[in-house]
Structure 1
Amino acid sequence: MNSPVTEVVCWTALAAVSFAYLGYPVLIWTLSRVFGRSPVPPAVSDDDLPTVSLLVAAYNEEVDIEARVLNALSLDYPRGKLEIVIATDGCTDRTNELVRPYTQFGVRLVEFSENAGKASVLNRVVPQLTGEVVVLSDANTHMATDAVRRLAAWFRDPAVGVACGKLVLTDPKTGQNADGLYWKYETFLKKCESRLGALLGANGAIYAVRRSVFPAVRPGTMIDDFVIPLDARRRSGCRLVYDARAAACEETAPTIGAEFGRRARIGAGGFQSIGMLWPLLSPRHGWVALTFLCHKILRWVCPFFMIAALVANLLLVGNPLYAGLLVAQVGFYALAAAGHLLPGGPRWVRYLRLPTMFVTMNAALLVGFFRWLTRPQTGTWRRTDRTAPALAADPSGSLQERPVGSGS
């Protein structure tokens, strides 16, 4: 069935997927070199640093919360300028009980009896905070001791509204740096987009927002670390910056199933966020319109392009060219399936698993799309199962020596 329309569909779909993952990085790197510049944090004395509220919203985090509080208390920030707030959302475990003893050391515990979701917690707690800058983090995150200081320094520039730090992923069993090729790839894109002033979202584990531009979070928002920074920019025109020196570490999901579920939730949240942030696609938003379209939206719809390419290729299989292309496509998916059976090991083995990661990630996006389409998004908590905390928790020294290591 050699229909010209089918051929166009086949090649357009393959081109779209190739551009999303290969062409866009080349484009954004080129644009960042020609038109961008590396943001330079201002030199700030202790007296000029802003007051900061470190906010951790938590739900049933008894495994991690005490280590998180101790890590927050160890941060290097001028005395009297750092407020530490743990806001719990209808916890049914010992989270509140474990935090309460630390209130004598200045930690503020805000308890909500009803599990209403993170968006609700942020909307109720942020107006109560005292800091000029709000640093948001997760219960299972461990920050380098100077991370908050580095983020806060950016706010000396009144144009900066959001500062995002670097997240280093560690293996839950060994505690070792598990930054994979994909995470390094995403960090590379963050750096390029930051040079253009077109950073998209933040790492939920470590980012800061000027409280005066902190937007109200819509109920049911699923990927708040993506929506909050971009909504702040949309409303106020503020700059978003990325600082790889402001480091934090977090465990990867301990199982493939847990990681798949996490990615599916992010996928559902991505499709949800388009309805919230679509005005950013206007050309008046400059480079942000380009990065939002190419880095996020195009990436999120890639599963549909992959399906279209395979179906169109099947309809064209009578042509020797398309028969060969079909063999290549089927071989790629077979390799992805085989990758599940490959054990970890040398670097070359991990490279062989790239097709597995790519296909799994897009399958999770597809699942996320149908979740978004068919289920009401309440925004209530969906915890990723984790192991006990790895208290290699003086991240201050080790993280800064590790190679660069997220929304959406």
Structure 2
Amino acid sequence: MEILYKSLFYISAFVIVWAMVGYPKSIKIIGRLYNSRKLEKDYTHQPTVTVMVVAHNEEKVILDKLNNIIEIDYPRNKIEFLITSDNSTDRTNEVVRQFIEEHPNFKIRLYEVKARKGKTNAQNEAHKLVSTDFMVLTDANSIMDKKSVKELMAAFTSEDIAYVTGRLSFINQKTSDISGAQATYWDSDVAIREIEGRVQTITAGNGAIYACRTKDYIDFNPIQSHDIAMPRFYALEGRRAICNHDALVYEKAGEVIEDEFSRKVRMNRTILKHILPELRIFNVFQYKWFSYFYFGHRTCRYLLWISHLVLLISNVFLLNDSWFYIVAFVGQLLFYSLAIIKIFSKTNNKYVTMIYYYCATVIAQWVGVYNIVSGKAKPFWEKAESTR
């Protein structure tokens, strides 16, 4: 049994360390090897575009979003706007209709989804109405930079590029320790994605702003999120999903842990399928760097919930083996204790906050797994009020 416990201990430790330290460090090294490879752009590429905004009960922000998108710097005769209301029951539809009436010189349409089935389903339905060459998809609470659409289109320099995502920037990272922790995590992840896209293809996109050819759009299962599903789908087709971080969009990060925790639970509603969606994904001879990227950036991270538990339990059975396992066990208890200290104290220590944020992320994975197993996982959710 000792061999089993040691195997579980070291496998779990590897998953955790590789996900959070090893892979990020390795990707920086890989980035240096491909330092000469730059993102190509063609600003003369200005095809017809539909900017699709999905909204559910967004009366607080929808008017700001509408005023934002009509200010986008793109040829007026080549851009349309499609507001997809996911069975909104507040004043969202009313605000959109009034805005359309007051701005007859813009091509703006409202599509009303009759049954609420979530963002992906709303996009699937509305996609049938799109006749432009490209689609830019964005959230109701995301404010797009004026040059964002030009930047996204400029990155489609070849047919093998099927998906381009922009960069989400948080405008309130100094408002609270939670929004600061989220911004810190996000900035590090953005750096990883930039390298992945430059080398070959990214493993995940950004729901706040991304684009694809209309003909390449796929009707995914509504429980899925485009952030993960689309880049992986294109990668397995031998095509590329990349970043253009000059295509900017701005949002508020969750300012309280309840909002941020709910967001992470929502993100993990299909976590079990994402660990190993298809065995062929690790065929390095066919998918090359993507196999490596997916294992480090996705598989290992999606295994954190079980890895931490297995590491702790296996460590208990190894305490009498050597001082190393005693130190490892005490280290784990200290790590979790710091997260608990954050709960019951008002400390703003950034290291304690990051540990607390990390532990909340792991617990959110557990809740996501529970929801899947219990059948409670759903394709829609309640929005985080502190992000509006």
What corresponds to 2:233 in structure 1?
A: 231
What corresponds to 2:32 in structure 1?
A: 33
In the alignment, the residues of structure 2 paired with residue 323 and residue 73 of structure 1 have an alpha-carbon distance, to the nearest angstrom, of: 61
* Structure 1 range deviating more: 364-373 or 316-325: 316-325
In the alignment, the residues of structure 1 paired with residue 6 and residue 160 of structure 2 have an alpha-carbon distance, to the nearest angstrom, of: 48
What corresponds to 2:370 in structure 1?
A: 370
What corresponds to 1:82 in structure 2?
A: 79
What corresponds to 2:41 in structure 1?
A: 42
CA 1:21 to 1:193, structure 2 compared with 1: closer, same or farther past 3 Å? same
What corresponds to 2:57 in structure 1?
A: 60
Q: CA deviation at 1:383?
A: 2.4
Q: Does structure 1 retain, via aligned residues, the 8 Å contact 2:155–2:244? A: no
CA 1:12 to 1:277, structure 2 compared with 1: closer, same or farther past 3 Å? closer
What corresponds to 1:302 in structure 2?
A: 304
1:213 pairs with 2:216? yes
Tell me the alpha carbon deviations over residues 74-114 of structure 1, each in whole angstroms, 9 at most, x when there is no partner: 11111111111101121111110010022232321111222
Q: Does structure 1 retain, via aligned residues, the 8 Å contact 2:72–2:147? A: yes
In the alignment, the residues of structure 2 paired with residue 34 and residue 337 of structure 1 have an alpha-carbon distance, to the nearest angstrom, of: 41
In the alignment, the residues of structure 2 paired with residue 194 and residue 116 of structure 1 have an alpha-carbon distance, to the nearest angstrom, of: 31
Q: CA deviation at 1:3?
A: 2.0
In the alignment, the residues of structure 2 paired with residue 377 and residue 310 of structure 1 have an alpha-carbon distance, to the nearest angstrom, of: 27
In the alignment, the residues of structure 2 paired with residue 344 and residue 142 of structure 1 have an alpha-carbon distance, to the nearest angstrom, of: 32
Runs of 4+ aligned residues of structure 1 deviating over 6 Å after TM superposition are none
Q: From 313, 327, 331, give the equivalent of 1:328.
A: 331
In the alignment, the residues of structure 1 paired with residue 228 and residue 14 of structure 2 have an alpha-carbon distance, to the nearest angstrom, of: 27
Q: From 87, 96, 103, give the equivalent of 2:100.
A: 103
Q: CA deviation at 1:291?
A: 1.2
CA 1:188 to 1:375, structure 2 compared with 1: closer, same or farther past 3 Å? same
SS of 1:219's partner is: coil
Q: Does structure 1 retain, via aligned residues, the 8 Å contact 2:203–2:293? A: yes
CA 1:208 to 1:296, structure 2 compared with 1: closer, same or farther past 3 Å? same
Q: Which amino acid aligns with 1:32?
A: G
Q: CA deviation at 1:11?
A: 2.6
Tell me the alpha carbon deviations over residues 24-65 of structure 1, each in whole angstroms, 9 at most, x when there is no partner: 1122222232256544232323xx411111001111111111
Q: Does structure 2 retain, via aligned residues, the 8 Å contact 1:123–1:217? A: yes
CA 1:173 to 1:42, structure 2 compared with 1: closer, same or farther past 3 Å? closer
What corresponds to 2:201 in structure 1?
A: 198
SS of 1:109's partner is: strand
* Structure 1 range deviating more: 280-289 or 330-339: 280-289
CA 1:108 to 1:182, structure 2 compared with 1: closer, same or farther past 3 Å? same
User: What are the within-5 Å matches in structure 2 for residues 238-387 of structure 1?
Assistant: 238-274=239-275, 279-283=280-284, 284-318=286-320, 319-341=322-344, 343=346, 349-375=349-375, 377-379=377-379, 381-387=380-386
CA 1:332 to 1:111, structure 2 compared with 1: closer, same or farther past 3 Å? same
What corresponds to 2:67 in structure 1?
A: 70
Q: CA deviation at 1:245?
A: 1.0
In the alignment, the residues of structure 2 paired with residue 281 and residue 59 of structure 1 have an alpha-carbon distance, to the nearest angstrom, of: 37
In the alignment, the residues of structure 2 paired with residue 37 and residue 365 of structure 1 have an alpha-carbon distance, to the nearest angstrom, of: 38
What corresponds to 1:51 in structure 2?
A: 48
In the alignment, the residues of structure 2 paired with residue 376 and residue 387 of structure 1 have an alpha-carbon distance, to the nearest angstrom, of: 24
Q: Does structure 2 retain, via aligned residues, the 8 Å contact 1:164–1:208? A: yes
1:14 pairs with 2:13? yes
CA 1:285 to 1:189, structure 2 compared with 1: closer, same or farther past 3 Å? same
Q: Does structure 2 retain, via aligned residues, the 8 Å contact 1:83–1:130? A: no
Tell me the alpha carbon deviations over residues 131-180 of structure 1, each in whole angstroms, 9 at most, x when there is no partner: 21111100100011111110011124322111110001233995999463
SS of 2:8's partner is: helix
Q: Does structure 1 retain, via aligned residues, the 8 Å contact 2:133–2:214? A: yes
Q: CA deviation at 1:215?
A: 1.3
Alpha-carbon RMSD across the aligned residues, in angstroms, is 2.4
CA 1:219 to 1:352, structure 2 compared with 1: closer, same or farther past 3 Å? closer
Q: CA deviation at 1:254?
A: 3.4
Tell me the alpha carbon deviations over residues 341-368 of structure 1, each in whole angstroms, 9 at most, x when there is no partner: 45475xxx21232211221111111111
Tell me the alpha carbon deviations over residues 162-203 of structure 1, each in whole angstroms, 9 at most, x when there is no partner: 111000123399599946321121112111211211211211
Q: Which amino acid aligns with 2:247?
A: A
Q: Does structure 2 retain, via aligned residues, the 8 Å contact 1:141–1:205? A: yes
Greater RCO structure (CA 8 Å; 6+ sep): 1
Q: Which amino acid aligns with 1:164?
A: T
Q: Does structure 2 retain, via aligned residues, the 8 Å contact 1:91–1:113? A: no
In the alignment, the residues of structure 2 paired with residue 175 and residue 116 of structure 1 have an alpha-carbon distance, to the nearest angstrom, of: 33
